[in-house]
Each structure stands twice: as structure tokens, then as C-alpha cells.
Structure 1
């Protein structure tokens, strides 16, 4: 062991560098106390120095700094870059090769005529169709999500056999990749998939159905799959809210002979209202951003995010104004999401006021 250790560090400057590092720490801090206390102080002398310089109140911000740097690079920087794309035009992603366009991309997105040629503008029809389809999806999916998540949370909050197991089962889809979810359901819902073959064998239908492209079914299955994939997240939030309700409130109601339905409507729902508000706003935001599962399933309708994805040229042939139009459309979606977030903050603060 000793020979291997010596051979590993022979000819290396690391032992000398480590010795110098510890001597500097010893000279600067002059640690006291037991041997292990002094040893740990010398090993971590840079943090000790930072704590002495920044104080007890400044040290937490030092630990938050790396996270804020990463957050800024991957959140705020792309946001500002996107704003730059929305007011410029051209195929290049280099700003020096793009020309300033002002609000031209907004006009290309919403006006009835093309500002470049004067012909009929079809881009606004595609954008409005995406907005309409997304609105229908949100209107259908959010109430279903809230109701199913609440019912699931109420069931899993009761004393049932294998409660922890069932909680894990309902939360498991959240941990799956959205693309995996989409392909999994595609195997079930495609024309020769498991669902059509099963229904044919039962004699319920005479020929296979393409559930994901049939206009009568595509929205239904989009809502169902998206709800299945994200149910566990909202169920967990509601379950935490239910467990925060004092048990003695229910005991007092039971002593008064209050039926279970009245306990639900008069105790559970009112006390769970702040949590339901959070779930509602979060599910609204998530539904507006729906993309991965729907894209993987190749559903018939186009969501807002899918429209932005296609228009930007990330899939298909890039166009001269596509990137700017997609950036402008994403800003409009961002404004909607910001308004929903502000609504949540306002309603939450109002609900918490005595």
C-alpha cells in the first residue's frame, strides 16, 4: 500500500502544493482547539476567510452565486437573445448579419396582408389556428387535470392498503421522459396499435382507427395522455395540502355527525383553496407550454410551442423571416404566462390576508 501510494505521487508536484496550501492556511488563520478542529480549519481556510470577510449574512449569497450564474446563462441570456431575434430579420443567428426590423415581425404574424409583398398573409391564419387549438386543449385539459388530481389525492390520503405503493405508481409517469411517454402511447393508439386491435377482437369496431389523427379523437387522446403523464406532480401538491389540514377539524365534524360529502365541501375544499389555486395556475402554464408528448405522438393539431418550433426552422427549411416570427410568437406566449404567474401571486396574497 505504501509503495503504491509513493509510486502514485512520485515526480508529482501535488504533495508540495498541498503542503504549501495548508501552511498558508495555518499562517493566516492560526487555528486553535483540538487536532481535528485545527486540521479541518486549515483544509477549508478559503471558506473561513470568505466567511470572515463577508460575515454570517453574506455567506449564503456566496453559495447562491453559482446557481444564479447558471440560471442567468440559461434563462435570462436566452430571453434577451430571443427579444433580439424578435426585432430583427434574416436567416442567420448572428446578430451582426441580421437587420433591424422593429415591429415588422409582429405585423408578419398578425396582419391580414404580407408587409413584404402586399399579398394575402397566411402566417396569421396558422398562428391563430395554433392559438385556437391550444386554447381548446387548455380549456379541456386543465379542469380534467384538477378534478382527477384532487380525486386521486383524496383517495391516497385515506388509510388504504399499500398507500405508499399506490402513491409511487401514480407519480411514476412524471419521472418518465416526455418523448418516452409519447412513443409509448403511440404504440397503443396508432392504426395497428394495441387499442384498435383489442377493440376489433372484442367486436366493438370493424376496422382500425388512427386515434391520433382522426379529428374526432385526437384532442380527446391528447388531453388523456397529457393528464396521465403529469397527474402525479399535481396530485403530490394536493396531497401535501390535504395533510396540512388539521385532523381535529374532521374529528369535530364527525362528532357533530357531519356527512362525508359535507366535510368535503365545507372543510376540505375551503381549506385546500390556496393549494388548488397554485395547482390551477401551474397546470394552466404547463398546458399552454404543451409540446413534447404531443410532438412525439404526432397529433393532428398544432400547439403554440409546436408552431414556434416549426416556424423557427428547427424542423424543415428555414425561411428569411421564420426565426424572427417565431421569436415574436414566443414573446406573446411569454406575456400570457407572465400574466398567469402574476395572477397567481395576486390571488395567493389576497387569499393569505386575514
Structure 2
């Protein structure tokens, strides 16, 4: 079936990074009506094969931009063929919403997603836990209900908060949001392990890059002053290489100037130049023009679970039915299940207490009855 959850998310995943530039019409709307992207800002229906171009005029021309934007909004439905099935049968809206939990089994499945995130351990991104808990509106009691152990470490709390904000573990060192099909690499953010470090290296790390020796005399000096590159060689070794390169350039320049002005004495001077170059070659070591490995500092950022979603993600947009964010709706479902479970547990304790009382009364009555029977006999 084309309106299944798997088919819907397959169409939604086609709207990859850089493929959609219209903010007023989201990929969710097109995916719900059977459209998938075939090239940047161009969608096609998988059933009737109709094509819609979503390229709009420049926003500077407000009249033209507004006119074509209204036409594009209508093309979500009218762009299909007249007999196309998608015109009157879009996917249900709940497919685009975060999961709605209703039973204790659903709560256990959500807890399992948090346990899978825990396997990343110290590679999980560092989060300001108190601030983010206040933003989500959750407390320690609710987080404890999603964990089977009483030991609530920073890694476990981080995994639960990421799960409640729509993130799950992707392949490798990736976090993935199913709602907007966004994947982020953990190496771009400050991790739990790096957050424990002290000093200015907290938000930066070094990766090797290649820089040619040809530009080592001028470009590398400027880049070193800017703090972009860090040379692995000592300063005295660099100065020796630079002096040798300069002497070689001077000798090559002088020989070329002698060869160019007069062609009559070119043969004699060429012989002199060849002998002098041979002598220079004996005196100077052979310099190989090979790339030099440099280390480039790349700034890392702190991961904010809500801000890393795409702007149209259902986890951070309001639901038209209940006027709340997607993550708020999920947390409300979790709180309702937890409260229902506590009420059932309290009721079970009361029932168990009543049963124990009835058993005690029966025991007492049996004892009294047996004593009276013995007296009669």
C-alpha cells in the first residue's frame, strides 16, 4: 500500500539536505499527498507521475512571490492527475506526528530506545541537563519511571532526554530523527567525555590536513598567526628549510635571466649555467616537494536536542488538533501512563490488603468455631 507508514517515510526521506528551499510549504505536506523529490525543488507523484516545480521568484518581488506561493500550495492537491488516487486519499495525519503512547507496553518500548542510546556511553553529546529538563517540563521522578535501575547516571539521563525530544540512535556515531529524517554526527558536538576535560580544548579538537610545502614560506606564516594551523616541526627546522628554498629560487632566477636577453651567447652561458647548477646541486641537498601534514583546529558546538531538528519537524511544531508541540504531546502521554500505572498499583495494594483482612477474619472465626464445638462436646 502507498499510504503505509513505511512508504510515507520513504517519500519523506527523499527531501534530503539542500533539496528543498520553500519554507512556507513543508515536505510533510507533499509526502502526505504522495509526492517525492526527484531533484532540488522538483517533486513527482509516484502514482500518476505528474511533476511539480517548487522554484519561486526572488522574495524581493513580493507580488510575484506571493502569487506563485499560493499556486504552489494548491499544487499539493491539484498537481495530481484528475483521476489520481492521492487527490482525495492522503496519508493519515498521525503518521507525521510523534508516537502516541497509550499502554504500558508502549512505555517499555520508549524505554528500550533510551537504553539503545545508552550504548553510546561517553560519546553522547553533552547537554545542560537542568536547563533542558526545565524546558521539557520533566522532573527526576518521571525520568526514574523510564529506567529500570535506581542509579541515574549522567549518561542515562542524557539518553532519556534525547529520546523524549525525538532522537534515536542511527548507524554508527549518528543520532537520527524519524520525524524530519535528519541525521547528525556526534563528532561535530562536544561529547560527554570531552565535557569532563578542563581548559580551552573543551570546544575544539585537531584533525590532520594537507598543506603543500610550496606555500610554506608565506601562506603558512599568515595561517599560523591566525591560529588556524599548528606546525608539528620546530621553528629552527622550518627556518633551515626556508633558507634553502630561497637560495635555490635565487640561483634559478639568476640562471633564467642570463639565458633570456641574448641568444648569441646562449650556448656558452647555458654551459656555465649547467656547470653552476651542477655545483649547486652538489652543495645543496635535494628538496622534495611533498605535502606537509598540518593540524587544523575545528570548533565544536554544544548539542541542543530541539534546535537540531529541521524547522518543519513535527517534534518542534504545534499540532493543529491540540495546539502543543510534538515532544510536549509525547511527554503528556508518558505522564498519563505513569499516573495510570500508579493508580492501578495503589488499587492492587488495597485489594491485596482487603483480601488479607478477609483471610484473617476467616481464620479468627474458624478458631472461635472450633473452640465452641469442643465445649459442646
Scaled by the length of structure 1, what TM-score is found?
0.17
Comparing both structures, which one devotes a greater share of its residues to helix? 1
The TM-score, its normalising length taken from structure 2, stands at 0.16
Q: Which has the higher strand share?
A: 2
Q: Looking at CA atoms only, which structure, 1 or 2, has the larger radius of gyration?
A: 2
